[in-house]
Amino acid sequence: MQDIKSNETVGEIKDENLIFNRDEEVNRNNKRRSIPEMSEKATSPTPTTSGKISKETECNSWKNIVFYGDNNEVFRLGCNDFNVMVQQKKRTQSMAGFHEHYVDIVDYIIRCTHSIWEERGIGNIYTHYHNNAQLWCPAHIEGIETVISGTLQTLHAFPDRKLVGQNVIWSGNDKDGFYTSHRISSTATNLGDSSFGPATGKKLRFRTVADCKVFANRIYEEWLVRDNLYIVQQLGYDPVEVAKRFARESAAKNKTALQENFGIGEAREGQYEPELYKRRFDKFEIGDFILEMYNKVYEWRLFNHVKTFYAENAVVHYICDKDLVGYTQIQGMLISLFASFGNARFIVERVTCNQRDNANDWDMAVRWRILGIHEGIGYFGKPSGRPVEILGISHLRVLDEQIIEEWITFDGLDVLKQIHRQDGDNEELI
């Protein structure tokens, strides 16, 4: 599935005044520092009545989960059109090691995405990705060659694909490395064969979120989630049959007697109940708020607390183009999801916080994971007893201490592939 599961955010602006010649590139490479182990620290801001964060305060007790970016340093995407963003010429953020035409990290993500996918500057992947880039999409792939191959195959299948950036939530700096979470709305026409099947000629749209670690103009690690289940539905294929075929192909590539799964992800540790998160601040603090919400609603399955954390008219944009409005629908979505994985473990891996123009208005990006057994009848059908791991990324908008809008993205087709892995193995043997 490399054609549809590879790189999303690569490229270089194809302005002849902006392209570096080889000598300049060599000189810049000689000066480039080695990639850090993302030494950016999770900062725990001191809450104030204004809602502004204190950059000086650092707290290791947050286990390097919660991070903050100062939107005063960047030209925030917001409601700005791509054509407005590319007119920004003055660098507003320290970007040592980056090509000189990028004014800030948001500009870097938006413009290089456009240049590779819509301007077809595919070779610029060489200057925007590390040679040994690590990608999780959700399977693990690595190396710049894989990124290039996957990009070409995707454009073969969907040659008119357009990627509209909806938001870039970020943190970090040019010394320690940046972290970005890029939410994309894509439109495309399936004019070429893909891993899903023969070309259908159908038009489709879908959401993708790419989280990237970036240092000195190169992405060196990326987490990519795409609503592939919705893509298959729009193409007119049976998602279960496609998932079974993927399972068979995966089994054929990995014929081995070695163990593939280790341990079972469970909400409890032994007989202990899940740990209950306790707020660290007396006043509202955005990172505190988000960690408590995921702990109570997702880890503890206390779906009654949806009313505590969400606005009454909150909207959740779920996979397969499902928009859920209000408490009842949001609770119903969560119940159906966890009915499939009733005792699974839920892990928050990273939280990125950006304050908007209003002191009480925040953009949040949360990378999370579900690990467990498909053991119940729910969103993903009858139980298979198969171990499942789901990588997801959610974007949330929090206004006046309530979630008013959320975008939940994960690869439901990959979940079906894991669920039907046994079926795929059996059919392969017949």
Structure tokens at 217: 């103009």
Average of per-residue pLDDT values in the chain? 85
Give the per-residue pLDDT at 424: 43
Mind listing the pLDDT tens digit for each residue in 283-326? 999 999 999 999 999 999 999 999 999 999 999 999 999 999 99
| pLDDT interval class at 58 (50, 70, 90) | very low
- The answer on pLDDT for 404 being more than 90 is yes
User: Where is pLDDT greater, at 31 or 386?
Assistant: 386
SS (H, E, C) the chain: CCCCCCCCCCCCCCCCCCCCCHHHHHHHHHHCCCCCCCCCCCCCCCCCCCCCCCCCCCCHHHCCCEEEECHHHCCCCCCCCHHHHCCCCCCCCCCCCCCCCCCCHHHHHHHHHHHHHCCCCHHHHHHHEEEEEEEECCCEEECHHHHHHHHHHHHHHCCCCEEEEEEEEEEEECCCEEEEEEEEEEEEECCCCECCECCCCCEEEEEEEEEEEEECCEEEEEEEEECHHHHHHHHCCCHHHHHHHHHHHHHHHCCCCCCCCCCCCCCCECCECCCCCCCCCCCCCHHHHHHHHHHHHHHCCCHHHHHHHEEEEEEEEEHHHEEEEHHHHHHHHHHHHHHHCCCCEEEEEEEEEEECCCCCEEEEEEEEEEEEECCCCECCECCCCCEEEEEEEEEEEEECCEEEEEEEEECHHHHHHHHCHHHHHHHHHC
User: Where is pLDDT greater, at 283 or 252?
Assistant: 283
- Residues 64-92, mean pLDDT to the nearest whole number: 89
Of the candidates 200, 262, 272, the residue with the CA atom closest to the CA atom of residue 232: 200
Q: Model-level pTM? A: 0.85
Percent share of the chain, pLDDT over 70: 80
Give the per-residue pLDDT at 251: 75
- 15-24, 311-320, 416-425, range with greatest mean pLDDT: 311-320
- Residues 254-271, mean pLDDT to the nearest whole number: 69
Give the per-residue pLDDT at 258: 65
- The answer on pLDDT for 121 being more than 70 is yes
- The answer on pLDDT for 57 being more than 70 is no
Give the per-residue pLDDT at 256: 66
Lowest-confidence pick of 252-266, 271-285, 329-343, 407-421: 252-266
- The answer on pLDDT for 59 being more than 50 is no
Give the per-residue pLDDT at 87: 86
Give the per-residue pLDDT at 17: 34
- The answer on pLDDT for 117 being more than 60 is yes
Of the candidates 334, 352, 354, 333, the residue with the CA atom closest to the CA atom of residue 394: 352
Decide if 242 contacts 196 (C-beta within 8 A): yes
